[in-house]
Amino acid sequence: MKTVAIINDQPLLTKGLCFILKDTYKQLLVLESISMVHFRELYPDKNPQIVILNIHFNAESDCMNFVLKAKSEFPQSRIIAFIDSQSTLLIASYFKNGIHAIISTKSTFDEITRCLDTVIQGKPCISQDLFFIMMPCFSQLKRKISAKGTRSCRPLK
């Protein structure tokens, strides 16, 4: 049985995610906590395969510190960032620092489950609204790569 940890200090959002996950994935153990420290206190022997983090800091440095702390605390877990930010630099930084998926707090139920299915398969995922925000960045990257005369990018595996 796969285990998912939801680490979030906003109870309504946590309960909503728990409901979606438990309703959609009957064979999934969903554990909830308000912080990483609290998670270890509640579930000292659990090592979840997937960790969903609600990241809602104002400063970019706080966001990255939180991500790096999560990667350190759960080194074997796939981490999904649940975010409200639409900063292209921040989104790119999440992926660069090892986040496996990024879901917008505005995502639909279907999009959340699609993304979770993708992460379970070991692939990265980004919610549709954030993907559209990132599209101009992908176009700029493609132009830079083409200008250098290198081969075009391969799709993510």
Sorting pLDDT into bands at 50, 70 and 90, what band is 58?
low
Global pTM reads 0.80
pLDDT tens digits, one per residue of 68-92? 888 899 999 999 988 887 777 777 7
Pick the residue with more confidence: 136 or 16? 16
Q: Which residues contact residue 10 at a Cβ distance below 8 angstroms, ignoring those fewer than 6 apart?
A: 54, 56
Count other C-beta atoms under 10 Å from residue 91's C-beta: 22
Residue with tokens 């554990």: 31
Closest CA relative to residue 53, chosen from 90, 20, 86, 100 = 100
Q: Which of 49-53, 96-100, 149-153 has the highest mean pLDDT?
A: 49-53
| Residue in this structure with the two tokens 């070991």, named with its chain if needed | 122
The SS3 of residue 125 is strand
Superfamily, domain 2-132: Response regulator (3.40.50.2300)
Exposed/middle/buried for 71, CB within 10 Å: 0-12, 13-18, 19+?
Answer: middle
**21-47 pLDDT per residue, tens:** 888 888 899 999 999 999 999 999 999
Section 101-125 average pLDDT: 89
